Amino acid sequence: MQTEGAGAADPAPDLVLDAAAVLYASGQSTGMTLAAVDRLNKGLGTTGTLVPTWASLQLVGQRGAVRVAAGSPTGLNMRRVAATMTVVDRAQDGPLDAGSVRDELASARQQPISNTLIFSGACATGAGALAVIFGAQDPVVVLVAALSAALGGLARRGVGRLHGEALTQAFVAALIAGLVGVIADRLHVADATGLVVLCPAMVLVPGPHILNGALDLLSLRVSLGMARLGFAALVLTAVATGLILGLAAGDLDIAVGQSGAPVPFGVDVLAAGVAAGSYPIFFSMPYRMIVWPVAVGMLVRAAHWCALTVWHVDVATAAFVSALIAGVLLVPIAHHLRMPFAAIGFASVVALVPGVYVFRMLSGVVRFAYAPTPDLLTALASDGAVAALIIAGLASGLALPMHAYAVATANRVTRV
């Protein structure tokens, strides 16, 4: 942390910036991080304005003091966010003791990520549940997809211990998924180049970053929002590259233009609950709180199923309505639990995320470059259009309730 200008010796603003840095680096939305700074300013008797950028946070004081904390919002640790927000919430009760705040922030920084074996198990259950949702009929397909995702989860943690960044972790896990797909194809496992490789890749989709980017764009923080979305695009590219290279080892490609079999309502909703319960572990959510995204995820999946099969709406409208329901329900829950909305929101709608279409489209684009055919062009255009419409519907449905809450909160504070 660097400090310049008059008032640089005052330690209270340093605590405000420390708290903001923990929240920002652990997945909290920009809007909620700014609100936390305002609360801490009141509790610690400071007056600082937070200026967030992709590479750093700046806290500008009234007397010209500028404090800078380096760090990018690429991490996700809901335990650290919850611990920090506990300190922030106490600012509403009166003045805070600087020493106590310092100790609690240090404790928040030390909150661990999910246990490696539990993390790997969650990767397996998440990928297996998604295979069921996307129409896997053979239990072997579900089991192989789950095993592949578990191996990828272990590899991600191993790369992380070697200080590999998020892009490398995603690439290695996707490469393993591709290689497992090659082995599955040699063993004549059904859908070896489809759900077997795509579902493990789905657990690598950076959904919270996409949602936080959408929230920033809605709040006209354009440069930061585009940076978040750019990072998410890089992760998706790393995943697609890993899948393509892994399959290329066996002279295979991702299956393009396939669709799964219809899934019964009860099985579909139950699988959505399993998937929604798996993703919070990726984000190091306290285990006692996982029931919330599971309950909302099952409700949202049921609404999505009804929208498609009973009301016969298009996929984009079904995604938007389902995500809107999730957003309306989860905004108060996220604030009550002091959880990052983007993480808990994405976990609840993960069963609706069109990652399969995205990866099939990217693979089709690569294949089209050296072997163009009209059928391939039609398939990749269809996958791309479906993915774009669903992503737009999900992002809008989740982001609008959160944005409305932020605007209402800001107006209430202004009136006070």
- pLDDT (tens digit, 9 = 90+) per residue, 80-118? 999 999 999 888 777 888 888 999 999 999 999 999 999
Query: Who's near 336: CB < 8 A, 6+ residues apart?
Result: none
> How many angstroms separate the most distant Cα atoms in the chain?
70
Please check the confidence at residue 257 and state whether its pLDDT lies above 70: no
pLDDT value at residue 9: 58
| pLDDT band with cut points at 50, 70 and 90 for residue 415 | low
- pLDDT (tens digit, 9 = 90+) per residue, 313-342? 998 999 999 999 999 999 999 888 888 898
Query: Who's near 285: CB < 8 A, 6+ residues apart?
Result: 78, 79, 293, 339, 343, 344, 347
Please check the confidence at residue 64 and state whether its pLDDT lies above 80: no
- Residues forming a β-bridge with 60: 49, 66
Token pair 């979305």 in the structure block, residue: 229
Which tokens belong to 370? 């050296």
Angle CA 8–12–14, to nearest 5: 65
* pLDDT, mean of residues 200-205: 94
* pLDDT, mean of residues 248-262: 78
pLDDT value at residue 191: 87
Q: Helix 195-202 vs helix 166-186: angle between axes, to the nearest 10 degrees?
A: 160
pLDDT value at residue 410: 67
Which tokens belong to 213? 């980017």
pLDDT value at residue 8: 54
| pLDDT band with cut points at 50, 70 and 90 for residue 409 | confident
Please check the confidence at residue 265 and state whether its pLDDT lies above 70: yes
Q: Helix 222-248 vs helix 355-370: angle between axes, to the nearest 10 degrees?
A: 60
pLDDT value at residue 189: 93
In the chain, what are the domain boundaries?
A: 2-112, 116-407
Which letter does DSSP use for residue 273 in this model?
Answer: H
pLDDT value at residue 190: 87
Average pLDDT, the chain: 90
Say which residue, 122 or 254, is predicted with more confidence: 122
pLDDT value at residue 192: 84
- Residues forming a β-bridge with 48: 61
- pLDDT (tens digit, 9 = 90+) per residue, 280-301? 999 999 998 999 999 999 999 9
Whole-prediction pTM = 0.90
Which letter does DSSP use for residue 289 in this model?
Answer: G
- pLDDT (tens digit, 9 = 90+) per residue, 350-373? 999 888 788 888 888 888 888 899
Q: Helix 98-109 vs helix 78-90: angle between axes, to the nearest 10 degrees?
A: 170
pLDDT value at residue 117: 97
% of the chain with per-residue pLDDT over 90 = 66
pLDDT value at residue 55: 94
Pairing of strands 56-61, 48-52: antiparallel
Say which residue, 410 or 45, is predicted with more confidence: 45
Distance CA 326, CA 253 (A): 35
Please check the confidence at residue 147 and state whether its pLDDT lies above 90: yes
